[in-house]
Amino acid sequence: IILTGGLKSLLPHVLRRIIRCNRLSISNTSGMAEGYKQANVVILHESLADDFEKFCHANNGPLPLLYRSKPGDWKCPSLSSDSDIRTDCLQYKIYEHGACTGSLKSLKEYSEQLKDMVTFYLGCSFSFEKAVQNAGIPVRNVEQKCNVSMYKTAVPCYSVSTFHCNLVVTMRPIPESKLEAAVLATSESKEAHGAPIHVGDPGLLGIQDLSKPDYGDPVHLHPGDIPVFWACGVTGVEAVINCRAPLAFTHSPGCMFITDLKNDNVTVRSSREVPQVHCISQDPLHYSIVSAEAAQKIKTLETVIGIDPGDRGIIHLHRQDELLKACLSISHARSVLITTGFPTHFAYEPPEENDGPPGALAIAAILQALEKEVAIVTDQRAMNLNKKIIEEAVQLGILKGPVPLLSYQRESADSALMFLCENGNPGRPRFDHLIAIERAGMAADGNYYNARKVNIKHLVDPIDELFLAAQTIPGVTTTGVGDGGNELGMGKVKDAVKKHIKDGDVIACDVEADFTIVAGVSNWGGYAIACALYILSTCEIHDRYLRKAVGFPPLAKKVIWLSALPSVTKEEKLLKTLAQHGVRSGKTASLEMEVDGLPFYNTHSLVIEKLL
């Protein structure tokens, strides 16, 4: 018996020879022949081969195709000099009509059947372990001398003909401080599944219990480790099971074919290819990935909207990277609820101001284009007004179609929970993300104040309660957009509001959002969210992470997304429509072309142009 300690430094052809002679008493090839690519193996009848190849190309995260053999060809010249696929894996599985009917050390007894069969060699994450170690990151399963953990997820692969299954992933515990390094080290290795497809809570992938992997061994997490998940070639095994082929063979999970190919060398990269990792939720724990280039563009948007033309002192409320984190969170959301409406003009009918609705509609428009569910909640008193504004926004081409309009009243202690979740069950939220933009926010004394310290509580429905309830529902995240500190969600910066904003000690909103976007004018915050969501959707690194590396990049939809963004023309038409409905400028109550007392032309129009 060969000792396992020396196996990591053996050359691939020597290792294959030892495996062929059946001289190893080990259970997997993790950590062997360091620096060389390893491969998953799927062997199918030639009649299925073309469809399986298409299935691999459609799901190239889990199934990066290294080589496809000719029928009956046991060699793979582009991967290795002297191999024989019948003997060169540690162990094989045999599948008949979708059922695993045994494990084998060799496929030689099936040589006759193999003459009509095609072998697929697919990339494997064992290939990137050396790169991960070189980056100073521990590989826990190698430390713990066990196989990597593999799990079936609830994520469906892109189906091709009879090949359909859910994604299988490997999990590696990574210390939180090393997350970005781990993503960087593995994103190089496109043929070894590339960057992770999920970082954080396993439940978000539909994995119930990390201690019970579907394949491989449980791997122990150290304190401070985060579970990180990579697409896994065992996905191919699940596809073989589901296609119910009369006869098929695969490697036994963890028992890879070792190739003579060296791992990809790290290349110097542009900011488009360098990934960043950002935490977007604590409960459940969830990180997202974005390119450094896209992140920088979004930081630029944040700077553009952060100017303070009204000289209110909002510079002191600004928190860095909140726009980026909020938009990453919204990008992962399936269903979004937006609220707006600040009835500052209590002496007029309607009392609404024209900062808020345009920003809310800009966000709704991009969410529609991204095919997310979106609804708007506002005051019962203003339902008819908002209904008319939405109808006209559709006619103007700002919205693709009408947005459902909801109202919220407190009828009992659990009204907010009933509104946000199906039957009030926190395990079944209707919305993943709540956005308040220029929405009157409740102060510490329970009242609602405009910037002139006038209490307008009689005009405001208690939509704040939805944001408070969201804090208790796992998986529901909130964003507040404001420009003065008295808006819903600004509770996160209330200390700065009390210190730096006129009458801040009275008017400051007390209700927090997870993310707070501070803008010179709240509408600008809405425009910036729309532009940031466009940037994220067109970022290849982020798109791949969102799709979990299955299916295809949605390149054809780029034109639709672009046409949903705000423009000077759209906003000009919308402002005129608001004025026709008696919706006035915030500071001056004017019905002219202005918002917050600032002229539309040469102020708002310039910001829109800069954002685009």
Which residues make beta-bridge pairs with 291? 275
3-7, 77-81, 107-111, 478-482: range with highest mean pLDDT: 478-482
Residue 3 has pLDDT above 50, yes or no: no
Which residues make beta-bridge pairs with 200? 286
Looking at residue 6, its pLDDT comes to 62
Q: Alpha-carbon Rg of the chain, whole angstroms? A: 28
Which residues make beta-bridge pairs with 481? 437, 517
Amino acid at 147: N
Looking at residue 145, its pLDDT comes to 86
**Other CB atoms closer than 10 Å to residue 72's CB: what's the count?**
15
Q: At what angle do helices 322-332 and 292-305 cross, to 10 degrees?
A: 120
Write a three-state SS string for 385-410.
Answer: HHHHHHHHHHHCCCCCCCCCEEECCC
Nearest CA among 31, 33, 14, 34 for reference residue 23: 14
Give the chain's mean pLDDT.
Answer: 92
Judge residue 412's burial from the number of C-beta atoms within 10 Å of its C-beta, 0-12 exposed, 13-18 middle, 19 or more buried: exposed
Report the C-alpha gap between 379 and 386 in whole angstroms: 9
Report the C-alpha gap between 483 and 486 in whole angstroms: 8
Report the C-alpha gap between 435 and 478 in whole angstroms: 6
Alpha helices of 164-284 — where are they, by DSSP H? 179-187, 235-243
- Return the minimum-mean-pLDDT range out of 88-97, 197-206, 375-384, 431-440: 88-97
Residue 421 has pLDDT above 50, yes or no: yes
What pLDDT digit, counting tens, does each position of 166-217 carry? Answer: 999 999 999 999 999 999 989 877 787 889 999 999 999 999 999 999 998 9
Residue 432 has pLDDT above 70, yes or no: yes
Residue 283: its H or E element: none
Residue predicted with more confidence, 189 or 416: 416
- Who's near 517: CB < 8 A, 6+ residues apart? 302, 305, 322, 323, 326, 479, 480, 481, 482, 525, 528, 529
Concatenating the DSSP letter of every residue in 13-75 gives: HHHHHHHHTT----S--TTSSTTEEEEEEEEEEHHHHHHHHHHHHHTTTT--EEEEPPTT---
Looking at residue 134, its pLDDT comes to 85
What pLDDT digit, counting tens, does each position of 95-125 carry? Answer: 999 999 999 988 999 999 999 999 999 988 7
What pLDDT digit, counting tens, does each position of 513-545 carry? Answer: 999 999 999 999 999 999 999 999 999 999 999
pLDDT band, very low/low/confident/very high, at 27 (cuts 50, 70, 90): low
Looking at residue 7, its pLDDT comes to 63
- Phi, then psi, of 8 in degrees rounded to 5: -70, -25
pLDDT band, very low/low/confident/very high, at 29 (cuts 50, 70, 90): low
Query: Average pLDDT, stretch 442-456?
Result: 95
Question: Quick check: helix, strand or coil at residue 443?
Answer: strand
Place of tokens 């969201």: 470
Which pTM does this prediction carry?
0.93
Q: At what angle do helices 568-580 and 357-369 cross, to 10 degrees?
A: 130
Report the C-alpha gap between 2 and 25 in whole angstroms: 8
Nearest CA among 552, 483, 487 for reference residue 521: 483
Q: Are the CB atoms for 96 and 105 separated by under 8 Å? A: no
Amino acid at 607: V
Domains of the chain: 12-262 (3.30.2040.10), 309-538+556-576+587-611 (3.90.1640.20)
